[in-house]
Amino acid sequence: MGKCEYCGVTVRGSSACPLCGRKVRAQRSEKMYPDGSADSPKAKNKRLPFWQAAVTLSVVGACAWVNLATRGSTGGYWCLDIAAVFAYLWVLVLHTVKSSAQGSLKLSLQALLVMVMLCVFDWNAGRGLWSVNFGIPIVCAGFIFLATYIVVTRKMSWSGYIGYMAAVALFGQIPVVSVMLGLAQIAWPGIAAAGYAVFTFLVMLMFANGRYKNERVRRLRF
Amino acid sequence: MIRERKRYPLDTAAKLFPSVSRPTNTSVFRLSVVLTEEVRPEALQKAAEETLRRYPYMAVRLRKNELEETGRPFAVVQEEKTPCALFEPEKEEFLLRILWYKRRISVEIFHALADGTGGVMFLKTLLHCYFRTLGCTIDPEGKILLPDETPQEEEYENSFLRYYDGTKTAVHKLPPAFKIKGEPLPDGGRNVIHGVFRLDGLKRAAKRQGATVTEYLCALMAFAIYRECVNGLDDEPIVLSVPVNLRAVFPSCTVRNFFSIVNITVSAEQAGSLRAALDAVRRELRGKTRPEKLREALRESCGAMEHPVVRAVPQFMRDAGLRFVFAFFSEDVKTMTISNVGAFDLPKGMLPYIDHAESVVYPTERSPINCCLCSAGGKMTVSFIRTVQETGPIRFFFRFLARETGEEISVYTNDWGILNGKV
């Protein structure tokens, strides 16, 4: 038995203190436990979603076949709507629900996919441009509101906080870019969404908690 | 003629454990004694067989909503895995293990079978049989269920139902508690750290503060968690979940589960000093262990678990519901479990053969460090089990205790997750 001077305890059956890891000056006494094995030494194989993939491929494939066989010369590609919905469900389950990625990344991917889905629906429904005129700005504003709500109500590390700030700044620009590129014909929803994003970003910067501010000063020197 | 296997109903608390047990929450606790001499496996095997004949309701396997006599031979085994390893109730023939390693005899019990008090009763009979097999004559002093006695029906009764008056009480959800976080240990093992010391010094230290041993250790644990785990961002209270033996209030000699959980809330401000933490713990523990409060807790448990609607729903739906209830009403509202198994109360003739006792309670996903206390022969053992690498609160706890009690604390571990002495 040896004495750990740091912890003030006597250590049995080990040459290091189990509390602090420091070596103890004494002969190793009787070992109190065997060298244990884990409950499940073999790592469990990660199950691949074969059934889900098969169902997706068969449904989308069948829809595509029916769509192409019946569309004629003027019909649309409605099978793309089905494919977009399935793609969204896959991301929802595999990334948003199951993955351990940062919340800001999950939320950004969700918003991005909803935008793509709206564009596909719009394109198939006659290209009325309602997706870029109104859909995308509304999704961006909704995303920013949700990000603000999460930041206000949940405790998070400084890296999580920065993630949400960056996502807000990025998503606020998407509607403006679509206006500048001439994709959107009505400008005010996009500009309103961008304004909301800038306002939220500045508020987040001003009212950030002390821990985030400390990290920002320490790492970025401002 | 084929003899029909005897079946025993699950008690009210036991209904929860099969639904919620998994590798990260095994629902298995361990009670051990470290002898003064090496264990003799042949004698232990004989003692185990004898003991299980005395406790036929413990030699059972889990069937749908009930326990069924196995009728299979039981074998003691040398300890290999980390403590409190998972039982797979659907596959395994027994819901308890008897293990030995060098000087230690351990009993690991799936919680659906018994609680800590029931486990201690079983272990004491096992020890009596073991020493008798070795030729020692020990006067049981009325403290042991002897192997020659006939098992009584009261020993496996559901005491919850016996004392439940049928009154419904609303179940209240406490606010979320502070959770200890950390890097998980490799391969899903569990690390245990035991600290053994003379009980006298601890009693003196507790008395100086005007507290009982349990109150003092709970307050010290809250203080240690605050000092080592809480940072400026955390404002949730530290909640210590303390199982209380209901046999102290309701006379029962059941070996099955008969306990209630008392949640001791210590706010972040109170946990900042031992004195304030002790005041909070004393007030909460004394208030919540009054007989009328325990009667209310019993009503809460039975009102929910024995509700006709709950009993009528299909098993898979009940399992899902119980998992949700466990996560929402138990896991979410506690920081750590501190279970005081109490004194093993062994006959005097047995004490010269016993060095000290150990008790270990399983950790869970959101409560990755748990603590269990027990004593035997004037020696107290505080045992921590953890599934995370961080040892901060444990180190603080033992350092403080060594200084305050003035006793020599002897610490040992199973080394799981410790590489080259690096904690």
How is residue B408 written in tokens?
């020599």
CA nearest to B185 within chain A: A38
CATH number for the B186-413 domain, one of 3.40.1190.20, 3.40.50.261, 3.30.559.30, 3.20.20.80?
A: 3.30.559.30
Name the CA dihedral angle for B300, B330, B360, B182, rounded to a multiple of 10 degrees. Answer: -170
CATH class entry, domain B7-163 = alpha beta
Picking from B413, B419, B422 by the largest number of A CB atoms within 10 A of its own CB, the best residue to mutate is: B413
d(CA B284, CA B161): 26
Q: How far is A203 from chain B (nearest CA, A)?
A: 20
Q: Which residues of B touch A36 (CB under 8 A)?
A: 79-82, 189, 414-416
Measured in degrees and rounded to the nearest 5, phi and psi for residue A147 equal: -60, -40
What pLDDT, on the 0 to 100 scale, is given for residue B123? 97
CA distance B385 to chain A (A): 12
Q: What is chain B's alpha carbon radius of gyration, rounded to the nearest angstrom?
A: 21
**Under an 8 A CB cutoff, do A10 and B409 touch?**
yes
Answer yes or no: do B195 and A16 touch at CB < 8 A: no
Q: Which two tokens stand for residue B421?
A: 């002495």
Please say if the pLDDT value at position A41 is more than 60: no
Is residue A96 within 8 angstroms of chain B, CB to CB? no
Q: What is the pLDDT of residue B251?
A: 93
User: Residue A40: its pLDDT value, please?
Assistant: 58
Per-residue 3-state assignment (H helix, E strand, C coil) for chain A: CEEECCCCEEECCCCECCCCCCECCCCCCCCCCCCCECCCCCCCCCCCCHHHHHHHHHHHHHHHHHHHHHCCCCCCCCHHHHHHHHHHHHHHHHHHHCCCCCHHHHHHHHHHHHHHHHHHHHHHCCCCCHHHHHHHHHHHHHHHHHHHHHHHHCCCCHHHHHHHHHHHHHHHHHHHHHHHCCCCCCCHHHHHHHHHHHHHHHHHHHCCCHHHHHHHHHHHCC
ipTM, two decimals, is: 0.86
pLDDT category, A28, cuts 50, 70, 90? Answer: low
Q: Where are the domains of chain B?
A: 7-163, 186-413
Q: What is the pLDDT of residues A152-196, one digit of tens each?
A: 777 677 778 888 888 888 888 888 888 888 888 888 888 888 888
What is the pLDDT at residue A123?
A: 85
Rounded Cα distance between A52 and B120, Å, is: 50
> Across all residues in chain A, what is the average pLDDT?
82
Give the chain A residue nearest B234 (alpha carbons). Answer: A155
Pairs of residues, one from chain A and one from chain B, whose beta carbons lie less than 8 Å apart: 126
Q: What's the Cα-to-Cα distance from A79 to each of A25, A114, A115, rounded to whole Å?
A: 74, 17, 18
* Distances, alpha carbon B23 to alpha carbons A23, A128, B292, B316, in Å: 33, 54, 37, 19
Which residues of B have a CB under 8 Å from any CB of A?
23, 34, 78-82, 85-86, 101-104, 186-189, 192-195, 232-234, 391, 394-395, 398-399, 402-403, 408-416, 418, 421-423
Does residue A43 surpass a pLDDT of 50?
no
Per-residue pLDDT, A159:
77
How many residues are present in chain B?
423
Question: Rounded to whole angstroms, how far apart are CA atoms A54 and A36?
Answer: 42
| Sequential pLDDT tens for chain B (423 residues) | 556 778 999 999 999 999 999 888 999 999 999 999 999 999 999 999 999 999 999 999 998 888 999 989 999 999 988 899 999 877 889 999 999 999 999 999 999 999 999 999 999 999 999 999 999 999 999 999 999 999 999 999 999 999 998 888 888 888 999 999 888 887 778 999 999 999 999 999 999 999 999 999 999 999 999 999 987 667 899 999 999 999 999 999 999 999 999 999 999 999 999 999 999 999 999 999 999 999 999 998 888 888 888 888 888 888 888 888 888 888 999 999 999 999 999 999 999 999 999 999 999 989 999 999 999 999 999 999 999 988 999 999 999 999 999 999 999 999 887 765 555
Nearest to B189 among A8, A12, A36 (CB): A36
Q: Please report the pLDDT score of residue A213 as a whole number.
A: 63
Fold: same for B7-163 and B186-413 = yes
Alpha-carbon distance of B354 to B247, in angstroms, equals 26
Categorize the per-residue pLDDT at A211 as very low, low, confident or very high, splitting at 50, 70 and 90.
low
Per-residue confidence (pLDDT) for residue A35, from 0 to 100: 82
Q: List chain A domain ranges.
A: 1-32, 100-222
Chain A residue with CA closest to B190: the answer is A38
